[in-house]
Chain A
């Protein structure tokens, strides 16, 4: 049973999670603690030209977007310093991507992340990019640092495919997390292979899926060019911003309030029960960079 239920009243007021106790940010680099900021930073960066009309990602632009987001997130003055704040040369880094064929993590983004990590001095052999198969991958098994990167999308059973959910492949038995519409996905972040290792979370918002249809829950009709990335140290906060954008898009598309269903409660429970981060908008400092058209938040 989940101890901390979110009531209808809580969600409508959108502020009751302010009552949540101080989260234990296991995963954040020390720089964040040093800042003693009362809010967790989430960077939203958008660029009108990052994808073309055929959906091709511009590798230079996405690299620039990533760098600008990381510089802003860390508060450092240049790109190298920023990445060096997060990774050190002795790290063994698993980049947990998402390969769902309908909407996968762009290869250009994976490559940009990998190259920046290499530039911090990490041996390229100590970096692995994977979705399925992480449990059998030596880099992931010995990882000292993880990067969590995936596109956001609505999901039949969990409400959304989120950063929290992206670690499902670290479970020996993913279906064991299905009860109560995947409420306890936050528990994944307490597995020994994961806990305390995530250094960076990137929610890809280039062409998010805001509504699902059919057995595979995908149709291009329900995606749109948002051209953004959400970047943060706190996966719950990043997801929380992501679902608010999806929700707003649904409102715009359907012309009425149409809740994401099932409710993506695993994100809130990752906050209230598993203390992985904060879902409370009042505790999130959203910094918006770049293109502002139809920002929806």
Chain B
């Protein structure tokens, strides 16, 4: 009896995985001009992604990565190999998260945001993060790289929603740039060093955004973390104040030891901070712009979705 159940279970898992494989494989072209796909495709899951990306796998796994396919295209001995990779990130917000942490200079050439650097093109669309990469770039490889990316983009029919926390910030003040979205504290220092440990208690239940707000000749750094409830947010806020040795009742810009100004704000289940101010006024001006609208948007916590 137990053996039968195990066999049925194995068949179910095999069938289910085959479904995923077929779905991912169908998004890739088999041939582009004289470039043919090398058989077989490689598949990765959260359990074995590190065999392919080593420590890089942690980035994907921190965003609930589901499965990836890698197809290699070859032409001849004079041309590099081109690898096309599609990562199924389960949700569009996760795909955007990976993209936001990977792409320094973003364009809208492919999908819902892309970046091309010599020999490498990455983009996100719907729940997929896509990378097409050549060992090195030649004219022919560059053309093929773009055509592969175009074919993948075309085969992904749906478009995904940006993370709600970003949509909301656009409503509050859309002048920010280079936003990153994350749910793991490892990325909290991307634009500004805050701490080497998890002082905000950021985990998979949280949604976080860090972005630039350009001001005159430099950038203020905006960090917002949304928690599942007010209690958790307040606890994190208290811990943060203690770590930064800030007054408990802080309600105006404060100068840190690096002579930069910052302000932290706790509102219901959200914390936001503005860092890197060269003056108290710079922080104050942005904070005044954000504060009222922020409270309107986040009133009654209607925007938190697990």
Q: Take A12-B257, A155-B55 as given contacts and tell me if A175 and B50 are in contact as well, using a CB distance cutoff of 8 Å.
A: yes
CA A215 to CA B65, docked complex, whole Å: 13
8 A Cβ contacts from A26-68 to B: none
Most central of B102, B187, B219, B244 by chain A CB within 10 Å: B102
Chain B residue numbers with a CB within 8 Å of A156 are 53, 55-56, 58-59
Contact B133 A12 (CB under 8 A): no
How far, in whole Å, are A265 and B193 apart by their CA atoms in the complex?
12
Question: Is the CB of B196 closer than 8 A to any CB of chain A?
Answer: yes
Contact with B along A208-252 (1 / 0, CB 8 A): 000101111101110000000000000000000000000000000
Tell me if A157 and B85 are in contact (CB < 8 A). no
- B95 CB to nearest A CB, Å: 13
Question: Are A261 and B56 in touch, CB under 8 angstroms?
Answer: no
Complex: how many Å from CA A157 to CA B187? 10
Q: Indicate whether A258 reaches chain B with its CB closer than 8 angstroms.
A: yes
Selected interface stretch from B114-122, B139-147, B151-159, B286-294: B114-122
Scan A148-170; emit 1 where CB is below 8 A from any B CB, else 0. 00000001111000000000000
User: A8-B193, A256-B219, A261-B189 are contacts. A219–B119 as well, Cβ < 8 Å?
Assistant: yes
A215 and B189 contacting across the interface, CB-CB below 8 Å: no
Distance (Å) between the CB of B4 and the closest chain A CB? 35
B59: which A residues are within 8 A, CB to CB?
Answer: 156-157
B42-57 vs A, CB cutoff 8 Å, 1 = contact: the mask equals 0000000010011110
Task: Look across to chain B and name the residue whose beta carbon is closest to the beta carbon of A10.
Answer: B196
- Closest B residue to A254 using CB positions: B104
CB <8 Å contact, B55 and A211? no
Does A178 contact B87, Cβ atoms closer than 8 Å?
A: no
A262 interfacial contact with B, CB 8 Å: yes
Bound-state Cα–Cα, A259 to B210, Å:
14
Residues 116-175 (chain A) with a chain B CB within 8 angstroms: 155-158, 174-175
Main secondary structure of the interface of B (DSSP, over half): mixed
Question: Within residues 241 to 259 of chain B, which ones have a CB less than 8 A from any CB in chain A?
Answer: 243-244, 257-258
Are A261 and B219 also in contact (CB < 8 A) when A155-B55, A211-B104, A213-B115 are? Answer: no
In the complex, B195 has a CB within 8 A of chain A: yes
CA distance A155 to B55 in the complex (A): 8
Say yes or no for A182: interface residue by CB 8 A criterion. yes
Q: Which residues of B contact A11 (CB under 8 A)?
A: 193, 196
Docked complex Cα distance between A135 and B60 (Å): 28
Contacts of B243 in A (CB 8 A): 7-8
B117 touches A157 (CB 8 A): no
Please state if A157 and B186 are interface contacts (CB–CB under 8 Å).
yes
Assembly CA distance A174 to B58 (angstroms) = 13
Contact (A261, B118) CB under 8 Å given A8-B193, A157-B58, A158-B55: no
Instruction: Give B185-217 interface residues, CB cut-off 8 Å to A.
Output: 186-187, 189-197
Expressed in whole angstroms, the minimum distance between the Cβ of B87 and any Cβ of chain A is: 7
- What is the distance, in angstroms, from B31's C-beta to the closest C-beta of chain A? 23
Nearest A residue to B55 via CB reads: A157
B224 interface hit (Cβ, 8 Å): no
Which A residues are CB-close (under 8 A) to B195? 7-8
Q: With a CB–CB cut-off of 8 A, which chain B residues contact A6?
A: 196
Q: How far is the CA of A52 from the CA of B54 in the complex (A)?
A: 30
For B50, B102, B104, B119, which residue has the most chain A Cβ atoms within 10 angstroms?
Answer: B104
Within 8 A of A (CB), among B76-102: 85, 87, 102
Instruction: Give Cα A155–Cα B243 distance, bound, in whole angstroms.
Output: 27
Give Cα A174 to B102, complex, Å.
24
Identity of the chain A residue whose Cβ is nearest the Cβ of B98 in the assembled complex: A215
Taking a contact as CB atoms closer than 8 A, the residue among B55, B133, B257 that contacts A178 in the complex is B55
Tell me whether A261 and B119 are in contact in the complex, defined as CB-CB below 8 angstroms, given that A9-B257, A215-B53 are known contacts: no
Minimal Cβ-Cβ distance residue in B for A2: B197
B117 / chain A contacts, CB cutoff of 8 Å: 213, 219, 221
B226 beta carbon closer than 8 Å to chain A: no
CA distance A262 to B185 in the complex (A): 9
Q: Is A5 an interface residue (CB 8 A)?
A: yes
CA distance A222 to B22 in the complex (A): 36
A35 to B197, CA, bound (A): 38
For A211, A261, A265, the residue with the greatest tally of chain B CB atoms inside 10 Å of its CB is A261
- 168-200 of chain B: CB within 8 A of chain A: 186-187, 189-197
- In the bound complex, CA of A261 to CA of B257 (Å): 20
Please pick, from B87, B102, B186, the residue contacting A213 in the complex, using a CB distance under 8 A. B102
With A7-B195, A215-B85 already in contact, the answer to whether A157 and B56 are too (CB < 8 A) is yes
Q: Does B218 contact A (CB under 8 A)?
A: yes
In the bound complex, what is the Cα–Cα distance between A287 and B191 (angstroms)? 32
A258 and B210 CA atoms in complex are apart in Å by: 13
B128 to chain A, nearest CB (A): 13
Q: Which residues of B contact A261 (CB under 8 A)?
A: 186-187, 189-190
Partner of A219, one of B120, B193, B196: B120
B131 within 8 A of A: yes
Contact between B55 and A221, CB atoms less than 8 A apart: no
A213-B55 in contact (CB<8A): no
Task: Given A12-B258, A213-B103, A215-B87, decide whether A178 and B58 contact each other with a Cβ distance below 8 A.
Answer: yes
A182 to B58 alpha-carbon distance, docked (Å): 11
Closest 9 CB pairs of A and B: A157-B55, A259-B193, A263-B196, A156-B56, A157-B58, A261-B189, A265-B196, A262-B186, A219-B117
15 chain-A/chain-B pairs, Cβ below 8 angstroms:
A6-B196, A8-B194, A12-B193, A156-B53, A156-B59, A174-B50, A175-B50, A213-B122, A214-B122, A215-B102, A216-B133, A258-B191, A261-B186, A261-B190, A262-B187
